[in-house]
Amino acid sequence: MRVVSLVPSLTEAVAVSAPGLLVGVTDWCTHPAGLTAARIGGTKNPDVAAVVALAPDLVIANEEENRAPDLDALRAAGLDVLVTEVRTLDQALTELHRVLVDGCGLARPRWLDEAEAAWAALPAPPGTPRPTAVPVWRRPWTVLGRDTFAGDLLARLGLRNVYAGHPERYPRVPLDELNASGAEVIVLPDEPYRFTADDGPEAFPALPAALVDGRLLTWYGPSLAEAARVLPSALR
């Protein structure tokens, strides 16, 4: 089978489960190391003609990361496009099974069972979750809003995103408003914006900042089991 992945998380999931399937991946697909599949552009601007030329049996995509016009163009060219929706951990586990087992015809991989078990084994979150804000970009400051996969992971770890009720999924918020949001901790991932100890925490002088591996917070795939082990201590 020949598979093109337009989503870094799904690229890693397929490559770890059956590396020989991938014939095309995006420029943003960084895991696992050593990918040899053809690069077909970005998640938001894939080279449709290049994807079609690879003659894949299946293109795997995501409703948030990829644009509908690109997916429509691939379908119009006669390609089978499987589009995932991942806004919670439960959705991630279900969609990964759909991609790997139903879409790619693989046996359910052991790492998927291990990831599900690792999250199920975590203690229940406290009754009073700790309020947090999660910037994902600066210039302008942009945060996690409603209905996000990362927000669901944080809730399972005892943190409440103060912008979870915002009408936008990734609202732009002025820095002074962020500092007055009621958050008791600021979570700073290293992607998509690369926050570091020297770039990010200084903007929140009265709040503790937790620097976390963005892949563990936002990717759904083989990193999920590691995320269940690492994030609880990183977010204390």
Average pLDDT for 100-116: 97
Residue 157 has pLDDT above 90, yes or no: yes
pLDDT > 70 fraction of the chain, expressed in percent and rounded: 100
Average pLDDT for 98-125: 96
Rounded distance, CA 63 to CA 136, Å? Answer: 19
pLDDT > 90 fraction of the chain, expressed in percent and rounded: 97
Residue 63: the pLDDT is 95
Q: What does the DSSP assignment read for 19-32?
A: GGGEEEE-TT---S
- Copy the structure tokens of residue 51: 């994807």
Residue 236 has pLDDT above 90, yes or no: no
Rounded distance, CA 112 to CA 97, Å? Answer: 8
- Residue 182's region, left for phi above 0, alpha for psi from -120 to 50, else beta, is left
Average pLDDT for 103-126: 95
Average pLDDT for 140-144: 97
Rounded distance, CA 122 to CA 58, Å? Answer: 35
Sign of CA dihedral 200, 202, 203, 204: positive
Residue 42: the pLDDT is 95
Residue 125: the pLDDT is 85
CB 82 within 8 A of CB 99: yes
Residue 130: the pLDDT is 94
- Residue of 119, 101, 117 lying closest to 109 (CA atoms): 101
Of 54-58, 108-112, 122-126, 132-136, the least confident? 122-126
What residues have CB less than 8 Å from 222, skipping those under 6 apart?
A: 12, 13, 16, 111, 115
| H or E element, residue 217 | helix 214-218
Q: 7-24, pLDDT tens digit by residue? A: 999 999 999 999 899 999
Residue 19: the pLDDT is 84
CB 63 within 8 A of CB 85: yes
Average pLDDT for 112-131: 93
When computed from its CA atoms, the radius of gyration of the chain, rounded to whole angstroms, is: 18
CB 42 within 8 A of CB 62: no
Residue 126: the pLDDT is 81
Phi, psi of 231 (to 5 degrees): -65, -40
Residue 189: the pLDDT is 97
Average pLDDT for 170-178: 96
- Copy the structure tokens of residue 85: 């929706």
Q: 175-203, pLDDT tens digit by residue? A: 999 999 999 999 999 999 999 999 999 99
Average pLDDT for 162-171: 95
Residue 127 has pLDDT above 90, yes or no: no
Distances (CA, A) of 2 to 24, 104, 125: 9, 9, 42
Average pLDDT for 126-153: 95
